[in-house]
Structure 1
Amino acid sequence: MRSDNSKIKEIFKDLEFTENEIEIITTVFHKVEVKKGTILLKPGDSVKEHYYILEGCLRAFHIDDHGKEHTVQFGIKDWWISDYTAFFSGSNSIMTIEVIQDAILYRISKDDKEYLYAKISKIEHFFRIKLEKAFAAFQRRILRNLSQNATERYLNFVKTYPNIEKSVKNYHIASYLGVTTESLSRIRRDIAQT
């Protein structure tokens, strides 16, 4: 990954590194190119890594006991994705991560992250801030799901993921919003008529 030093700077925006620190970082981040339709993770898998999305789009979803899909997260450029419940607890995955648009990712293992924390303390601070923001975003999403109607949730989705509708299937969006595809079509029709 030595030729990808600029990618390290893109991943860790606003952080300055010495040449030695960049060398350390490049030894633990691994570039992965994946095609649309690839399943990176499935239920029951051991989760030892998470991914930075340089390009593409991914989806993390759970299938309930009735066979219904629930999209938990879309991952787009400059986002991170994993089954974090399993990643942090050491348990097996309960989610599936699917590549829904060809992607270039940078993968790092939990052990390698811990290694970076010990070697370069500003990286631990960087990930702590990322985790705090992600936790707050998930909490806002839960509150929206509890307190907003489907149209309001859809409008928030479009604001959060402004260009994603061209890349994903309607049933993916519907499963993220907790509605049927028919309801999603009706919501879009109603918005277009206003």
Structure 2
Amino acid sequence: MENQISIALEIFKNYALSEKEIRYINNRFEKIELKKGDILLTPNNNVTYQFYTYSGCLRSYFIQKSGKQSTIQFAIKDWWISDYTAFFTNQKSVMSLECLKDAVIYKVSKSDIDEVFDKIPRLESFFRKKLEKAFAGFQKRIIEYLSLSAKERYQKFRENYVEIEKCVKNYHIASYLGITTESLSRIRKSIS
């Protein structure tokens, strides 16, 4: 129980929570330990959970009709990940979630989060702020993809995601940037 209490306090570190609230939250989160290569979600499934990354590294990706993988998001410590389109719209998943580095994550269902909001209303602002930040980040990424060169996109990735670059393979970074691994290698050589 002590470990669960510490995870509730870690997730909601900026909120003063009573012991009763901590226990209530802990009962809504389920700990999962993943090994590198584990697949957490595949396409064409119902998505009723979102995942808090306590340690390790995960990625969400989309497989195009050609078979090419496009990385949509990475998740490291203190980040959330899911197929959010499916999660919020009750549509089937289109993305996969893969563990890239052994991870400890905590899953929580949409219904449990809604119950937490009802029981502890001030936490709804926590998730609203997280969603606002994520939405702004995705929009910024789309604009950068449309307006920056591959080299500029890689340089921004390196500036913003130092920890992620240490955890993932080159082809994951290339698929996140929308380029080939060969292009990524050329860009890296031109920078060094």
Shorter-chain TM range is over 0.9
- In 1, the alpha carbon distance for the partners of 2:16 and 2:28 equals 18
Q: Tell me what 1:100 maps to.
A: 100
Is the 8 Å Cα contact of residues 52 and 80 (structure 1) preserved in structure 2? yes
- In 2, the alpha carbon distance for the partners of 1:159 and 1:108 equals 31
Is the 8 Å Cα contact of residues 59 and 99 (structure 1) preserved in structure 2? yes
Q: Tell me what 1:164 maps to.
A: 164
- Ranges of 4+ aligned residues in structure 1 off by more than 4 Å: none
Q: CA deviation at 1:23?
A: 1.2
Q: How many residues align?
A: 192
Residue type of the alignment partner of 2:96? T
Normalising by structure 2, we get a TM-score of 0.97
Q: CA deviation at 1:2?
A: 4.6
Q: CA deviation at 1:166?
A: 2.7
Normalising by structure 1, we get a TM-score of 0.96
CA RMSD of aligned residues (A): 0.9
- In 2, the alpha carbon distance for the partners of 1:169 and 1:2 equals 35
SS of the residue aligned with 2:27? helix
Q: CA deviation at 1:14?
A: 0.7
Is the 8 Å Cα contact of residues 58 and 101 (structure 1) preserved in structure 2? yes
Q: Tell me what 1:48 maps to.
A: 48
Q: Tell me what 2:184 maps to.
A: 184
Residue type of the alignment partner of 2:33? E
Residue type of the alignment partner of 2:73? Q
SS of the residue aligned with 1:131? helix
Residues 17 and 149 from structure 1, CA distance in 2 versus in 1: closer, same or farther, beyond 3 angstroms?
same
SS of the residue aligned with 2:13? coil
Is the 8 Å Cα contact of residues 60 and 98 (structure 1) preserved in structure 2? yes
- Higher mean displacement: 139-148 or 10-19: 10-19
- In 1, the alpha carbon distance for the partners of 2:39 and 2:50 equals 14
Residue type of the alignment partner of 2:20? N
SS of the residue aligned with 2:97? strand
1:132-151 aligned within 5 A: 132-151=132-151
Which ranges in structure 2 are unaligned for 5 or more consecutive residues? none
Residue type of the alignment partner of 1:130? K
Is the 8 Å Cα contact of residues 2 and 26 (structure 1) preserved in structure 2? no
Residue type of the alignment partner of 1:106? Y
- CA deviation digits over 1:109-137, x for unaligned, max 9? 01100110100001111100100000000
- In 2, the alpha carbon distance for the partners of 1:75 and 1:93 equals 18
What percentage of residue pairs aligned between the two structures are identical? 54
